[in-house]
Amino acid sequence: MRNLWIFISRYNAFFLFIIFFTVGIYLTVKNNSYQRSVTLNSTNQIVGTAYERLNVFKRYLNLGMVNDSLAAENAKLKSQLLSLTTIDTAKDVNVVDTVTNQDYTYLAAKVIKNSITLRNNVMTINKGSIDGIKSGMAVIAPQKGVVGFIRDVSEHLATIQSLLHKDTKISVTLKKNNALGSLVWGDGNFDIKKAFIKEVPNHIKMYVGDTVVTSGFASFPKGILVGRISKPNVATNDNFLSGEVNLFTDFSTLQYVYVVKYKKAEEQKALESAIKPNE
């Protein structure tokens, strides 16, 4: 402390200079409009540029939140779109309540674990029973393409048995002639971009580029785009045709999925279970 005091008093000229100089500059800037405007402008410019730079990083950090909100909005819009398209325009009746007409609603979910390299692939999403997710619900990809079915549900999470699984079978049709088939994956093919359409009746003609959509018979809504035929008319031993399908879904980059809630799922299940297997 004493040394510091000696140091300051020895170089008192310099310290006094600093004090008086600061006061002088302060007076100058405070009391002269031109100098003040220049100072303010330049500091504003510096501060502004700094904030701009900072904002770039901030925006990047907020991307997750933005994505979430966009996905939620998308889900809302999709359900609205569906409610509009499900209005039966053929009948000459006024549909007053369009919402009750809507069988499917979409729920956006984030993929928090994904696998594509295994024989039977399962992914995990961040929505669970608390969000109304039940086992067996269909899952589709954000732009186009199918993902799979909900398999197990916990309170906040759920697992999806993806299309890349030996037990997954999705009922699909060819868009141009509504010919039924089932979409499966595997069977010696482990390319995540390809699946097979099987059990297509023999008389149906498939061509390269035919669009495959969901049939709407299972928990998927009708008309969800699945893929395009890349290798048609592969004959099998039975009375059915097979074809190779290029999937629209890119499982390797999947970050968000939509869980499709089918309102009448339980009703349909109950009704159908009344039919005895050997009837």
Partner 1 sequence: MNSRIIIVNVIRWFLLLFVQIFLLKNMGFYDLSTPFIYVLFLLLLPFGIPNILLYLLAFGTGLTLDAFYDTMGVHATACVVLAFVRISFISISLNRDAIDDPEPSLSYMGFQWFSLYAFLCVISHHLVLFFLETFRLTEMGYTLMRCGLSCIFTLLIILLVEFIFYRRTPR
Helix (H) or strand (E) holding 149: strand 146-153
Q: Does residue 30 bind partner 1 (CB under 8 A)?
A: yes
Q: Does residue 255 bind partner 1 (CB under 8 A)?
A: no
Q: Token pair of 215, please? A: 């049939």
Residue 99 has phi, psi (to 5 degrees) of -70, -40
Find where tokens 């004090």 sit: 19
Shortest distance, position 15 Cβ to partner 1, whole Å = 9
Q: Residues binding partner 1: what is the number (CB under 8 A)?
A: 21
Q: Does residue 27 bind partner 1 (CB under 8 A)?
A: yes
Q: Token pair of 97, please? A: 């309540």
Report the amino acid identity of residue 270.
A
Shortest distance, position 41 Cβ to partner 1, whole Å = 10
Q: Token pair of 95, please? A: 């549909």
Shortest distance, position 252 Cβ to partner 1, whole Å = 56
Q: Does residue 253 bind partner 1 (CB under 8 A)?
A: no
Report the amino acid identity of residue 42.
S
- In the list 6, 24, 46, 98, the residue contacting partner 1 (rule: CB under 8 A) is 24
Shortest distance, position 56 Cβ to partner 1, whole Å = 29
- Of 22-30, 130-138, 145-153, 254-262, the window that binds partner 1 (rule: CB under 8 A) is 22-30
Q: Does residue 6 bind partner 1 (CB under 8 A)?
A: no
Shortest distance, position 10 Cβ to partner 1, whole Å = 11
**Alpha carbons 205 and 164: distance in angstroms, whole number:** 26
**Alpha carbons 53 and 40: distance in angstroms, whole number:** 20
Q: Does residue 46 bind partner 1 (CB under 8 A)?
A: no
- Of 18-26, 132-140, 174-182, 258-266, the window that binds partner 1 (rule: CB under 8 A) is 18-26
Q: Residue 105: is it exposed, middle or buried by C-beta count within 10 angstroms (0-12/13-18/19+)?
A: buried
Nearer CB in complex with partner 1: 14/217: 14
Integer distance in angstroms from the first to the last C-alpha of the chain?
A: 102
Given a contact cutoff of 8 angstroms between Cβ atoms, the answer to whether 80 and 98 are in contact is no
Q: Does residue 45 bind partner 1 (CB under 8 A)?
A: no
Site residues (CB under 8 A) for partner 1? 12-14, 16-17, 20-21, 23-32, 34-35, 38-39
